[in-house]
Amino acid sequence: MKNHRQVFQNEQKNRGRLLITCPDQPGIVAAVSQFLSNHEANIIESSQYSTNPEGGDFFMRIEFECPDLESKKSVLREEFDTIAQTFSMEWQLFFVKELKRAAIFVSKELHCLRELLLEWESGDLMADIPLVISNHPDAKDFVESFGIPFVHVPANKNTRQEAEQQQLELLEEYDIDVIILARYMQILTPAFVEAYSEKIINIHHSFLPAFVGAKPYDRAFERGVKIIGATSHYVTNDLDEGPIIEQDVKRVNHRDQVEDLKKNGKIIERSVLVRAVKWHIDDRIIVHENKTIVF
């Protein structure tokens, strides 16, 4: 809890992460690593990917340890900007001790919420979670037992506008970086989605692109599949069509009725969502042309 996070923040106070996207060409790695070396930063982990070495796109994630990082934050940003311009880079620089602030949206199914909060409490999910919003009051006691504010914002097709208005104000008030839809059963408006582009993580209870939309387990049962799945993705305005972050599956058989598929599905839904959220808060994901690169 607080302790885990404080210990982590102290341990990681000199740890930074750099995410880069640019056209591929020779010399990128040399330039970036020379820049880090100039600041006495030691590269801890480095991953890269090219869609095509000859004229494709280049993606890179570097995690580094830099003595006295706190005092160098602005100078690093300034200096790196010059390199970035040379190579036409889009880039992000993260300081690991500055934890992401996540809001969880939930409805009546609580298994994903529970998994997230238990992982958070045990120190395995290193974010701040200052807010849980639900369109049902069911989770109130559970959430508050972790010392986290719970806000009941009733929402349905007819009240969507007002509900989202209230949600957006809460997200602003709590300074939220990332929204986790933990089986939140409402569709979000395009305006809302755009306001948090590539920052809303959903869990869909099927192996996308199979069973896009409502009642995937009923349709999986109907089709007689032998394996069910769950998919975590960033939310876009095409329903269940956003960039896939993670998927997993579980074997079923002819004995499993719809209810059994749902029970079995819960186990993968929660683990898939937690993995996706961890990769997001560890700055491991770059979105490119509706796909994810997960380093």
Q: Which residues bind a second copy (CB under 8 A)?
A: 24-30, 33-34, 36-37, 40-50, 53, 65, 111, 114, 118, 122, 124, 145, 207-211, 223-227, 229, 243-249, 253-255, 263, 267, 271, 290-294
Q: Is 128 a catalytic residue?
A: no
Query: Angle at the Cα of 224 (from 220 to 230), degrees rounded to 5?
Result: 35
Cis upstream peptide for 209 (omega within 30°): yes
* Residue (of 89, 108, 119) closest to 155 by Cα position: 108
| CA–CA dist 45, 63 (Å, integer) | 5
**Smaller CB separation from a second copy, 124 or 162:** 124
Shortest distance, CB of residue 1 to a second copy, whole angstroms? 13
**Smaller CB separation from a second copy, 157 or 255:** 255
Q: List Cβ neighbours of 19 (8 Å cut-off, separation of 6 or more).
A: 60, 61, 91, 92, 94, 283, 286
3-state secondary structure of 261: helix
Shortest distance, CB of residue 158 to a second copy, whole angstroms? 30
Shortest distance, CB of residue 162 to a second copy, whole angstroms? 32
**Smaller CB separation from a second copy, 197 or 257:** 257
Helix (H) / strand (E) element for 228: namely strand 227-234
Residue carrying the six token digits 């090219």: 50
Shortest distance, CB of residue 178 to a second copy, whole angstroms? 20
Q: List Cβ neighbours of 114 (8 Å cut-off, separation of 6 or more).
A: 142, 270
| CA–CA dist 261, 206 (Å, integer) | 10
Q: Which residue is catalytic, options 128, 240, 256, 283?
A: 240
Shortest distance, CB of residue 76 to a second copy, whole angstroms? 15
3-state secondary structure of 6: helix
**Smaller CB separation from a second copy, 189 or 264:** 264
Residues with a known catalytic role: 240
